Amino acid sequence: MKHLSEFFVKSFVAGVVIIVPVYLSLLLLAKAAKSVARLVEPLAKLLPKWFPAEYVFSVLLVLIGCFLVGAAARTRAGAAARQRIEKTLFERIPGYALFRSLAEQVAGSREDQVWKPALAEIEEALVPAFIIEELEDGSFTVFVPAAPTPFTGSIYILTPERVHPVDVPFSHAIRSLSHWGSGSRELVAAMKNRKVA
């Protein structure tokens, strides 16, 4: 019964972590489209009444705005402005930096991995883990995720000999965890190859 309730809670939390940002993004886009509806109203009146022109043009205008902001953010001045806004505003929101880095890693757009895949020695077993940070004394803070919900789990501080970094992509490690460990042979092989090298 305890395992069932734990599975239910972890699955619920993992679902919330995935669904809430998507829902909020869609909600903000819908609200933005509604607020620009007045701008496109004169153009919408030129088209037949059966066509939802006001809605289509509003969404299109918001999407164009998103594209332009994204394109501007890729310039040097835009990147500097984005970093200032993130530091002064967004990073004060709890969990923002974590979700941003995870999203970038899952999308493969981030080269420096904040969560480096590893195998950690816990009791008498090797368990899939992520290195969060290296401490001054050489120890590692590691996150050991629960399967199949890799964004819930436990935090350990382990000595270096108990943490074995593996050279696999972040997305592969997440996929292995969400598939109940299927694909772990690549993690073990990467650890052995690293030791031989």
Give me the percent of the chain exceeding a pLDDT of 90: 9
pLDDT attached to residue 162:
92
Does position 75 have pLDDT exceeding 90, yes or no?
no
Given a contact cutoff of 8 angstroms between Cβ atoms, the answer to whether 127 and 177 are in contact is no
With b for 16 or more beta-carbon neighbours within 10 A and e for fewer, the 178-192 pattern comes to: beeeebbeebeebbe
Summarised one tens digit per residue, pLDDT across range 94-136 is 656 666 666 665 555 544 556 788 889 998 888 888 888 889 9
- For residue 31, name the pLDDT band (cuts at 50, 70, 90): confident
pLDDT for position 172:
74
Tokens of 153: 């789990």
Give the dihedral sign, CA 156/114/186/196.
negative
In this prediction, residue 27 has a pLDDT band, given cuts at 50, 70 and 90, of: confident
Pick the range with the lowest mean pLDDT from 31-35, 150-154, 193-197: 193-197
Angle 184-196/170-178 helices, nearest 10 degrees?
140
More confident of the two residues 113 and 15: 15
pLDDT at position 97, please? 64
Q: What is the pTM of this model?
A: 0.48
**Sequence-distant (≥ 6) Cβ neighbours of residue 145 within 8 angstroms:** 128, 129, 130, 151, 152, 153, 177
Q: According to CATH, what is the number of the domain 116-196?
A: 2.30.30
Q: What is the pLDDT of residues 130-189, one digit of tens each?
A: 888 889 999 999 998 887 777 778 899 999 999 988 888 777 777 777 777 787 777 777
Estimate to the nearest angstrom the gap between the alpha carbon of 10 and the chain centroid: 17
Q: Which residues have CB under 8 Å from 114's CB, separation 6+?
A: 101, 102, 105, 132
How many residues would you count in the chain? 197
Domain spans in the chain, listed from the N-terminal domain onward:
2-107, 116-196
